[in-house]
Structure 1
């Protein structure tokens, strides 16, 4: 018995040793100070740490779970207290409707400046300068390429990850095929089927405007990288194209069904959603009593409802007051003139509100995570987009039959009320959502499980250069077959020239024979 116990102990010890040998040091860097961006990364940090990996994250939204003993978080939440962020969002919304290119350039410039400030933060600088620090893998939010300099600093492979679908410029960086008409960029407010004018705009954006913005942004980011990581850091274009994998928060059901190279992995499908939790008792009581059903209205964490013009808020309240439904509105300020059926709250547990059986409708700004949460709770939507990829998402929502779209700039009382009643009373929206959600969930594993498996794949093989797209190693003219077309055209031209030359020669010879007088006739 004693010998068996010893053998069992030795076996367990061996398992622990093997498990420890497979554990890795992973650095995660997500510098976008937005909850909707950070929330997609949290399940990955949690799961990797629970699997025994030592995970260090640089984030504005730390998990702060003492049970995750393998997770170390460098807290950048101080950045959220920046008073300028509110003004920037208001300005960006306004500029987006007048000068799209300037708005996009301003957005990326602001994000780059924010990254610069975050890298100046004491604990981050200490990590960069710590000669004893070692990491086996870097996982970064791939919107900016500045954090990829950590891969050079620690001489480790990297994985890019997105809380949204990839833009065409991002897909190009990993050698994934793009097409301006079939797969319009997510910054453009187009759906699946583009008109001729939209195809022209999409083409110009992809091949003229986007490269122009990209070149300007590259210069700014390179200066920031040199400032914090030194002049020996490679060009950020090289760092961006040398990532081992790219995780995108998309799926083939709601997003474009597009070709993907092996290095691109779709982890969408509501993988960020948490397990159901009980609602606060007072909220549970209110929603349970809403026997006619309730409407949930939230414009997300960036575009907040209190940013709406006062006359628009008054109009919305009037319409809500005429409806037979309870209305739950995420609003950051008190409203004195609200109808009795409208409940205001600065914060709401959105996922669990959407799971309540009495919900009839979700009015949203069109953020991808919010829409995912509604889709997997079978809740039809009205999208009111403001900036970023929201118009793109809402267009897809409408094209898929999951709800309707409204323009906040031209929103009128009658239109608002009729749209609400249409989506609530027409069962086709909810039925379509249920069908698509079931299709999207019919997968061999969840998005988080995919991300974990491929993360450990990169760790096992110390990178994934063998999955590198061949598109990255050929010049653009070869990909577009311009050299091949040139050779074919030249060959065709030479062939035609030779044929014409032969024909002219034959014609010339024939004419000579016809007009040459035979010798017999000459002598006679």
Structure 2
């Protein structure tokens, strides 16, 4: 879910526990992770909505349709958001009635495979098959030669058969590798003799693998793929590798680990059963709520805080108070022996609303750490935060947050 779009609907997602869509963090988030996550939340809203994408699109649309309302004004009139997520495979979030999860709605039961593919997969015997696809956007044929050769060498060492979506002719292919420009991915993943899915970590591919209970080995390229790949590893659905670090031994080792250890299949099967266990399918759910909004002429009863707008619901909250809310703990156990002092530090504002720059030294770190925070500006609009970035500076030096008494990274636990 895009946090700024959610805020426009009236559901403000707290960056203290809701990760941004590009990164994930250990649970519970440390103080540093919450701070970093908040910066990403704000920074991406500025980058996408204020500086780059939305202004360029708005300029083109206004030139072609001058009478059309602004895009960001149209967004505030949204009656229903269908979210490509599900709590079984995403961070559970508090949602409004107008925010409906329909994740994996494109997933379906398997259709019969073409005879050639069926014979190739069943002919692999008990060793099974590895399926390799980097999706529809990143083509395997554009893979740098050094990486392509690593995979060819690795596949040659495996007893399994490999089905590789590769968009061009490829020479020196091992006998256990089938090359094809297009493949029915869901039908392959649903086959019980397909043991591992090598993927780029795209959201839809990950959902299909979970739906059909196939363990994954991810090779993230860009966007949300690193976050999805970390989710795959942390959830025990498989593992991921970094392109720049690839070796033949690493590829063979990662695949062998996933093939041999039954926990990966068990974990992905458990998540698949949870995702499938719904009273109606995601498609039927999307149809119901779409027709509900039509029947009730926009369903204004669903709007909640959206009618008051992000500006109205937050006009009395000051930026300094928001920072204080997100980052200051009440007890010394979570922030270390200086937790209470830090709280007093953030509250020590002068009459102009500026926080004095204070220096203090953490017991667990020999280096002094400092924070300069400027408070007093209202958060006015989900995209109107340029003044906050321009006039409010938050700097934290490495080593600022010591470990607490339990040896865990400092942070808020509530």
Normalised by the size of structure 1, how large is the TM-score?
0.58
Q: What is the CA distance between 1:427 and its match in structure 2?
A: 0.5
* 8 Å contact from structure 2 (residues 8, 309) kept in 1: no
Q: Report whether the alignment pairs 1:274 with 2:103.
A: no
1:478 deviates by 4.7
Which of 178-187 and 376-385 deviates more?
A: 178-187
- Give the corresponding residue for 1:284: 118
Instruction: Identify the residue that residue 293 of structure 2 maps to in structure 1.
Output: 458
CA RMSD of aligned residues (A): 2.4
| 2:57 counterpart of 1:221 | yes
Deviation of the 1:397 alpha carbon: 1.4
Structure 2: runs of 5 or more not aligned: 323-343, 349-414
Partner of 1:415: 250
Is contact 2:166-2:180 (8 Å) kept? yes
From 404, 409, 427, the counterpart of 2:262: 427
Q: How does 1:54-453 map to 2 (within 5 A)?
A: 166-188=1-23, 190=25, 194-216=29-51, 217-230=53-66, 232-268=67-103, 270-291=104-125, 292-453=127-288
Q: Distance in 2 between matches of 1:286 and 1:405?
A: 26
DSSP-derived class of the 2:159 partner: coil
State whether residues 192 and 399 of structure 1, in contact with CA within 8 Å, keep that contact through their aligned partners in structure 2. Answer: no
What is the deviation of 1:167?
Answer: 1.9
CA contact (8 A) 1:175 1:469 kept: yes
> What CA deviation, in whole Å up to 9, does each residue of 1:385-404 have, x standing for no partner?
11121112111111211111
| Structure 1 position 195, deviation (Å) | 4.8
2:150–2:248 CA contact under 8 A, matched in 1: yes
Change (3 A) 1:412 1:264: same
Q: Aligned-pair distance for 1:242?
A: 0.7
Inter-partner Cα distance in structure 2 for 1:331 and 1:391:
22
Q: How many residues align?
A: 322
Change (3 A) 1:337 1:198: farther
Q: Secondary structure at the match of 1:482?
A: coil
Measure the CA separation in 2 of the matches of 1:452 and 1:239.
22
- Identify if the C-alpha distance between structure 1 residues 197 and 410 changes in structure 2 by more than 3 Å, giving closer, same or farther: farther
Q: Which one has a bigger Cα radius of gyration?
A: 1
8 A contact 2:107–2:211 mirrored in 1? no
Instruction: Please give the residue correspondences for 1:22-37 in structure 2 after superposition, counting only pairs within 5 Å.
Output: none
- Say whether the 8 Å CA contact 2:305–2:313 is kept in structure 1: no
Higher relative contact order structure (alpha carbons within 8 Å, sequence separation ≥ 6): 2
Cα gap change, 1:459 to 1:439, in 2 (>3 Å)? same
- TM-aligned CA distance change 1:191 to 1:375, over 3 Å: farther
C-alpha deviation, 1:334, in angstroms:
1.5
Q: Secondary structure at the match of 2:243?
A: coil
Superposed displacement of residue 480, structure 1: 8.0
Q: Answer whether contact 2:11 2:305 (CA < 8 A) is retained.
A: no
Q: Distance in 1 between matches of 2:92 and 2:113?
A: 36
How far 1:382 sits from its partner (Å)? 0.6
Counterparts in 2 of 1:286 and 1:468: CA distance versus 1, 3 Å: same
Deviates further, 376-385 or 181-190: 181-190
When residues 435 and 168 of structure 1 are mapped into structure 2, their CA distance, relative to the original with a 3 A threshold, is same
Q: CA deviation at 1:364?
A: 0.5
> Is the deviation greater in 218-227 or in 249-258?
218-227
After superposition, what is the alpha-carbon deviation per residue over 1:19-53, rounded to whole angstroms, capped at 9, x for unaligned?
xxxxxxxxxxxxxxxxxxxxxxxxxxxxxxxxxxx
CA contact (8 A) 1:192 1:396 kept: no
| Partners of 1:458 and 1:464 within 8 A in 2 | yes
Q: Deviations over 1:375-426 (max 9, x none)?
A: 1211100111111211121111112111111111221222111111111111
**SS, match of residue 244 in structure 2:** coil
Unaligned runs of 5+ residues in structure 1 are: 1-165, 494-524
What's the counterpart of residue 70 of structure 1?
none
Higher helix share: 1
Whole-angstrom distance in 2 between the partners of 1:305 and 1:462: 47
Contact 1:168-1:185 at 8 Å conserved across structures: yes
Is the 8 Å Cα contact of residues 8 and 306 (structure 2) preserved in structure 1? no
Question: Normalising to structure 2: TM-score of the pair?
Answer: 0.73
